[in-house]
Amino acid sequence: PRVNSSLSSDELLLEDLETEGERQLKSLLHQQLDTTVSIEQCKSKRRCFAPAAFYKPFGEEAAGALTLSQFQALQESDKETASLRELGLSDSEILLWK
């Protein structure tokens, strides 16, 4: 047996639909009204942002005719430099390390 809905898709009212923004606002309101929060819970929600990434184009060093082994060595060196940058080292510290 087929189930017929009482409302067709054309008869749905836009006011009856809850948007994602309204859901987010309700969630924020409930969080603000909840007074049973401990300091540990606040600390666990703390967010840490990563520092901005540095972009250095790879094409400048790879310009010209290179053999496959030269290109792979250049690529490995670039990966090492990128990982050192992720650790927070500056360009002068990276040069000193290498």
- State the SS3 of 14-42: HHHCCCHHHHHHHHHHHHHHCCCCCHHHH
Flag whether 33 is in a domain: no
Flag the least confident range among 9-18, 22-31, 35-44, 61-70.
9-18
- Residue 10: is its pLDDT beyond 60? no
Flag whether 78 is in a domain: yes
Flag whether 84 is in a domain: yes
Q: Residue 81: which of 66, 71, 91, 68 has the closest Cα?
A: 91
User: What local confidence, expressed as pLDDT, does residue 32 receive?
Assistant: 86
What is the chain's mean pLDDT, rounded?
77
The tally of domains found in the chain comes to: 1
Flag whether 85 is in a domain: yes
CA dihedral 24→20→46→39, nearest 10 degrees, is: 30
Flag whether 71 is in a domain: yes
- Residue 68: is its pLDDT beyond 70? yes
Whole-angstrom distance, CA of residue 93 vs CA of residue 97: 6
Flag whether 19 is in a domain: no
Share of the chain above pLDDT 90, in %: 7
Q: Residue 61: which of 52, 72, 45 has the closest Cα?
A: 72
User: What local confidence, expressed as pLDDT, does residue 15 receive?
Assistant: 60
Q: What pTM did the predictor assign? A: 0.39
Flag whether 6 is in a domain: no
Whole-angstrom distance, CA of residue 51 vs CA of residue 2: 58
Print the domain residue range for 76.
65-97
User: What local confidence, expressed as pLDDT, does residue 85 receive?
Assistant: 83
